Amino acid sequence: MPEPLLQVKGLTHHFASRGGPTVAVEDVAFEVRAGEAVGLVGESGSGKSTTARCVLRLIEPTAGSVVFDETDVLAASPRRLRELRREMQIVFQDPYASLNPRMTVEALVGEGLVVHGLAGGRGARRRRVLELLELVGLDAGHLERHPRDFSGGQRQRIAIARALAVEPRLLICDEPVSALDVSVQAQVLNLLRGLQEQLGLSILFIAHDLAVVRFLCDEIVVMRDGRVVEAGPAHRVLREPHDPYSRALLLATPVPDPAIETRRRAERRSSSPAGGRSPSSTATT
Amino acid sequence: MTRDPLLKVRGLEVAFPGQDGPVTVVRGLDLDIEPGERVGLVGESGSGKSVSMHAILGLAAGARVSGSVRFDGQELVGAPSSTLRAVRGRRAGLIFQDSLSALNPVLRVGAQITEPLRLSGTGKREARDRALELLERVGIRDATRRVDDYPHQFSGGMRQRVMIAIALAQSPELLIADEPTTALDVRVQRQVLDLLLELSEERGMSLLLISHDLGVVAGGTERVVVMYAGQAVESATAEPLFQRPLHPYTWGLLGAVPQLTGSRPERLPAIAGRPPDPAVPPSGCPFHPRCPHAQDRCATEVPMLLEHEPDHRAACLRVGEISPPALIAEERVDA
């Protein structure tokens, strides 16, 4: 089994707030091996995005350790941290907010090359940007355009090309497809799967949709209220979830099949304590 | 003689003014909803699903609406605002995705439920009792205390329940729910959907559930309509629509959804390209530029929404000549 590329242990982050510190992430541990895709799953407030930001030190964790390729990320000097951030890139959920509207596609995708002093001259840079655009299914005709000229799915492709420009080994994707329509979502998921195979990329994929995670990920880590409640191979977690919360998530995930949905609905009704009425009658969320 | 449907939409067209003349975003939509029936309306963004529902209730500001919308036999297109007001809210309720902006932030939720009741002459105490009863029914715990809270004091799921309570206050015959659970977490989404279906069943209230997610409308709706580029491209009772769909767009949509069970594909069969710009609609069948089964005639002939099997309509020239990719036909096993 390959050595873990990313190893997270005891990761903890407390927010200062009125009435004492609020726990955002508590004692989170997981690994991402080279070339592997790991899904970090949970609902809003579960701490999954905070975990990703702690890994990149976009937020400083309160405690724990993050080791990337044998380097202690949390102890890294500013200079070393810059190098590490080249190797760990992140793609955000909202491609409307994450791309500077005044920059052209060429500038957006090439920015990392400039920042990290890669691909020297203008000509070399343009060639590299073109390569990247082709990799994500765009072309030279898009170089001079601005984000506003693109649909959500295309913007997400631009964001992915931008992240890949600096040849990261780990791509962290924070809900990259949840704002997209089903047909476009499938295109972006296929792109990520292809990149993983083609470039041997490792992916930390943050999502709430278990079916999406199943398509892309080998391992699943389920988080709730800042803690990991279950982790394991995707096929095992989805077939026989050990934790009641994982099971509840799985049963609530919509399935486009009326027979399955009707049966599940009957199950939810009969298992409800109100006897007949679904849990919706007594829910507190 | 058969009874008329509660809502009967024929040839609905909705156009907005654009830079180069009007842009038609709904083109000839037909839709029936029977009393007590639960219908799912599915489409991706830009398909015209929300706009058409707003137009039906006279809420599409700035739009030119034509065609016919009959609610319980009464024509709503071109009707005076008094007629629309008598239907909207009272006989046909509407709930939106964004509960925070749909609710009045400076009015206590109880007052938002009782306001329309008071306006229609219900006494103060009776209206408050009714508000409490409704809040309890939609699953707000401790309703006597929470009735005087403001919208921001509720979580997203709870706000959505409050909005449902407001819609129910006037006992509408039809509830239109426009992406009611899209912004919610998966378990809360499920609870709100279950609640809507339950309320529809116990009150005999028709429900039109609008969503971009085929999974959301799969359970509990009796009929499903798929929209693409401002038109209904397929309409059928739920089971045949999911198990034996006729339109290549429906095949594409179903195929593009990742599955929780069964074999894990190397690639998802994504639909190539993207939906057309309503300002420059394709000729012929609106789906033909993305359709793997398109022939020359698909670019010139406009397909009608025709009944190909009992109660199963599709707008495709090639129904009967083509069959869905194997992926959809594959038996699914429950999670």
pLDDT at A283 over 50: no
Residues B35 and B139 in one domain: yes
Q: What is the CATH number of domain A4-97+172-253?
A: 3.40.50.300
pLDDT: which is higher, A116 or B284 = B284
Q: Pick from A182, A208, A265: which is nearest to B44 by CB?
A: A182
pLDDT at A131 over 70: yes
- Are B186 and A249 in contact (CB < 8 Å)? yes
Note the pLDDT of residue A69.
Answer: 94
- Are B195 and A251 in contact (CB < 8 Å)? no
* B222 close to A (CB below 8 A): no
Q: For residue B303, what are the domain limits?
A: 251-329
| Per-residue pLDDT tens over the stretch B224-236 | 999 999 999 999 9
Q: C-alpha B232: how far from its chain's center?
A: 12
Note the pLDDT of residue A272.
Answer: 59
| Per-residue pLDDT tens over the stretch A240-260 | 999 999 999 998 898 999 999
Residues B41 and B123 in one domain: yes
The residue type at A144: E
pLDDT at A17 over 80: no
* Across B268-291, average pLDDT: 90
Q: Is residue B211 part of a domain?
A: yes
* Across B292-296, average pLDDT: 96
pLDDT at B323 over 70: yes
* Across A69-91, average pLDDT: 93
> Which B residues in the span 151-210 are in contact with A, Cβ-Cβ below 8 Å?
155, 157-158, 185-192, 194-195, 197-198
Q: Is residue B270 part of a domain?
A: yes
* Across B288-313, average pLDDT: 96
Question: Does the CA dihedral A225-B189-A174-A256 come out positive or negative?
Answer: positive
For the purposes of burial, counting CB atoms within 10 Å of the CB of B87, is it exposed (0-12), middle (13-18) or buried (19 or more)?
buried
Residue B114, φ and ψ in degrees, nearest 5 = -80, -25
In chain A, beta strands by DSSP E: 4-15, 22-33, 37-41, 63-68, 71-72, 88-91, 170-174, 202-207, 219-224, 227-233
**Neighbouring residues of B111: CB distance < 8 A, sequence distance ≥ 6:** none
Interface test with A, best of B187, B188, B200 (most A CBs within 10 A): B187
Residues B140 and B76 in one domain: yes
Q: Is residue B296 part of a domain?
A: yes
Q: Is residue B246 part of a domain?
A: no
ipTM associated with this complex: 0.85
* B253 close to A (CB below 8 A): yes
Residue closest to B265 by CA, chosen among B273, B274, B275, B257: B257
* B254 close to A (CB below 8 A): yes
Least Cα separation, residue A120 to chain B (angstroms): 35
Residue closest to A14 by CA, chosen among A172, A226, A169: A226
Nearest CA in chain A to B219: A261
Give pTM, 2 decimals.
0.88
* B149 close to A (CB below 8 A): no
| Pair A154, A162: CB distance under 8 Å | no
Residues B214 and B284 in one domain: no
Interface test with A, best of B99, B193, B257 (most A CBs within 10 A): B257
pLDDT band at B289 (very low <50, low <70, confident <90, very high): very high
Note the pLDDT of residue B144.
Answer: 93
pLDDT band at B2 (very low <50, low <70, confident <90, very high): low
pLDDT at A3 over 80: no
Q: Is residue B227 part of a domain?
A: no
Number of H helices, E strands in chain B: 12, 12
* Across A200-221, average pLDDT: 95
Least Cα separation, residue B136 to chain A (angstroms): 8
Q: Is residue B145 part of a domain?
A: yes
Least Cα separation, residue A52 to chain B (angstroms): 19
pLDDT band at B263 (very low <50, low <70, confident <90, very high): confident
> How many Cβ atoms sit within 10 Å of the Cβ of residue B284?
18
Q: Is residue B133 part of a domain?
A: yes
| Pair B288, B298: CB distance under 8 Å | yes
What is the residue extent of each domain of chain A?
4-97+172-253
Q: Give the H or E element holding residue B307.
A: strand B306-309
* Across B265-293, average pLDDT: 91
pLDDT band at A173 (very low <50, low <70, confident <90, very high): very high
**Percent helix / strand / coil, chain B, rounded to 5:** 35, 20, 45
| Per-residue pLDDT tens over the stretch B178-201 | 988 887 888 888 999 999 999 999
Q: Whole-angstrom Cα distance, residue A172 to residue A157?
A: 14
Note the pLDDT of residue B221.
Answer: 94
Q: How many domains does chain B have?
A: 2
| Per-residue pLDDT tens over the stretch B141-154 | 999 999 999 999 99
Nearest CA in chain A to B47: A181
End-to-end CA distance of chain A: 42
Residues B213 and B288 in one domain: no
Pairing of strands A170-174, A202-207: parallel
For the purposes of burial, counting CB atoms within 10 Å of the CB of A47, is it exposed (0-12), middle (13-18) or buried (19 or more)?
buried
**Neighbouring residues of B67: CB distance < 8 A, sequence distance ≥ 6:** B9, B10, B11, B12, B13, B28, B29, B77
Q: C-alpha B248: how far from its chain's center?
A: 21
* CATH code (residue B190): 3.40.50.300
pLDDT over 90, % of chain B:
71
Q: Is residue B242 part of a domain?
A: no
Across chain A, mean pLDDT equals 89
| Pair B215, B42: CB distance under 8 Å | no
Q: Pick from B254, B259, B334: which is nearest to A211 by CB?
A: B259
Within 13 Å, how many C-alpha atoms sit on residue A224's CB side?
A: 13
> How many Cβ atoms sit within 10 Å of the Cβ of residue A61?
24
Q: Whole-angstrom Cα distance, residue B65 to residue B81?
A: 14
Q: Whole-angstrom Cα distance, residue B240 to residue B244?
A: 5
Q: Whole-angstrom Cα distance, residue B229 to residue B241?
A: 19
* B142 close to A (CB below 8 A): no
Note the pLDDT of residue B326.
Answer: 66
* Across B89-100, average pLDDT: 87
Residues B216 and B117 in one domain: yes
Residues B168 and B313 in one domain: no
Residues of B in contact with A257 (CB under 8 A): 218, 242, 332
Note the pLDDT of residue A2.
Answer: 64
